[in-house]
Structure 1
Amino acid sequence: MQLKLTLVAVAAAFVAAGTASAQDVQVVKIASVAPMSGGQAHYGKDNANGVVLAIEDLNKQNIVIGGKKIKWEAVLEDDAADPKQGTAVAQKLCDMKVNGVVAPLNSGVAIPSSKVYHECGIPMVTGAATNPDITKPGYAEIFRIIANDSSLGSGLAKYAHDTLKLKTVAVIDDRTAYGQGLADIFAKTAESLGMKVVDRQFTNDKATDFMAILTAIKGKKPDGIFYGGMDPQAGPMLRQMDQLGMSNVKFFGGDGICTLKLAELSANAKSLANVACAEGGASLQKMPGGLEWKKRYDERFPGEFQVYSPYKYDATMLLADAMKRADSVDPKVFVPKLIESNYKGVTSTIQFEPNHEIKNPSITISVYKDGKKTPLD
Structure 2
Amino acid sequence: MTRFSRPTAVAVGVVCAVLLSGCGSGFLGSGSTLTVVIGVDGPLTGKLADLGLGIRNSAELAVAKANAKKTVPGVTFVLDAKDDQADEATALANGQAFVADGRVMGVVGPLTSSGALAMAPVLSRAGLAVISPSNTSPALTWGADYRANGKKRQYATYFRTVTTDAVQGPLLARYAYKRLEARRAAVISDKKAYGSNLAAEFATAFEEVGGNVAFRTTVQSGTTDFTKLATQVAAAHPDIVYYGGEHPEGGPLSAALKAAGVKVPLAGGDGLHTDGYVKAAGASSEGDIASQPGISVEGLASAFAYLDAYGQAGLKEEPGPFGPYAYDSTWALIQAVGRVRQAQPDLSGPELRTAVADALQQVSFFGVTGDVAFDEYGDTRNQVASIYQVKKGAWSAVVPFGRLRDF
Output one character per residue of 1:172-201: Cα deviation in whole Å (capped at 9) or x when no partner. Answer: 101100000000000000111111101111
CA distance in 2, matches of 1:63, 1:294: 20
The one of 319, 330, 335 aligned to 1:316: 330
State TM-score, norm by structure 1. 0.89
Aligned-residue offset at 1:316: 0.5
Per the alignment, residue 4 of structure 1 pairs with none
SS in structure 2 opposite 1:266? helix
Output one character per residue of 1:226-278: Cα deviation in whole Å (capped at 9) or x when no partner. Answer: 000111111111221222122x2121100110112322121232xx2221111
Whether 1:337 aligns to 2:359 is yes
The one of 77, 83, 86 aligned to 2:82: 77
Q: Which deviates more, 51-60 or 258-267?
A: 258-267
Per the alignment, residue 94 of structure 1 pairs with 99
Whether 1:58 aligns to 2:66 is yes
Whether 1:252 aligns to 2:267 is yes
The code of the aligned residue for 2:48 comes to Q
SS in structure 2 opposite 1:307? coil
Per the alignment, residue 16 of structure 1 pairs with none
Aligned-residue offset at 1:343: 1.4
Aligned-residue offset at 1:25: 3.1
Whether 1:186 aligns to 2:194 is no
| Structure label with greater radius of gyration | 1
Aligned-residue offset at 1:304: 2.1
Whether 1:199 aligns to 2:215 is yes
Q: Is the 8 A contact 2:234 2:261 kept in 1?
A: no
Whether 1:284 aligns to 2:297 is yes
The code of the aligned residue for 1:151 comes to V
Gaps of at least 5 residues in structure 1 are 1-22
Aligned-residue offset at 1:27: 1.1
Go from structure 1 to structure 2 and tell me whether the alpha carbon gap of 1:302 and 1:294 turns closer, same or farther (over 3 Å shift): farther
Q: Which deviates more, 130-139 or 140-149?
A: 130-139
Per the alignment, residue 134 of structure 2 pairs with 128
CA distance in 2, matches of 1:173, 1:288: 36
CA distance in 2, matches of 1:231, 1:35: 14
Q: Is the 8 A contact 2:372 2:382 kept in 1?
A: no
Per the alignment, residue 13 of structure 2 pairs with none
| Larger relative contact order (Cα-Cα within 8 Å, sequence gap ≥ 6) | 2
Q: How does 1:269-308 map to 2 (within 5 A)?
A: 269=284, 272-300=285-313, 301-308=315-322
SS in structure 1 opposite 2:274? coil
The code of the aligned residue for 2:302 comes to G
Per the alignment, residue 219 of structure 1 pairs with 235
CA distance in 2, matches of 1:375, 1:82: 30
Aligned-residue offset at 1:64: 4.1
CA distance in 2, matches of 1:245, 1:28: 56
State TM-score, norm by structure 2. 0.83
CA distance in 1, matches of 2:208, 2:373: 31
Go from structure 1 to structure 2 and tell me whether the alpha carbon gap of 1:316 and 1:373 turns closer, same or farther (over 3 Å shift): same
Aligned-residue offset at 1:24: 4.4
Output one character per residue of 1:81-120: Cα deviation in whole Å (capped at 9) or x when no partner. Answer: 1111111110011111311000111111111210010011
The code of the aligned residue for 1:317 comes to W
Per the alignment, residue 168 of structure 1 pairs with 184
Q: Identity of counterpart residues, as a percentage?
A: 28
Per the alignment, residue 283 of structure 2 pairs with 268
Aligned-residue offset at 1:288: 4.5
The code of the aligned residue for 2:115 comes to V
Q: Is the 8 A contact 2:58 2:319 kept in 1?
A: no
Q: Number of paired residues? A: 349
Q: Is the 8 A contact 1:157 1:190 kept in 2?
A: yes
Q: How does 1:341-356 map to 2 (within 5 A)?
A: 341-356=363-378
Output one character per residue of 1:44-63: Cα deviation in whole Å (capped at 9) or x when no partner. Answer: 11111111111111110124
Q: Which deviates more, 235-244 or 217-226?
A: 235-244
The code of the aligned residue for 1:121 comes to G
CA distance in 2, matches of 1:312, 1:305: 9
Aligned-residue offset at 1:292: 2.7
The code of the aligned residue for 2:278 comes to A
CA distance in 2, matches of 1:255, 1:64: 34
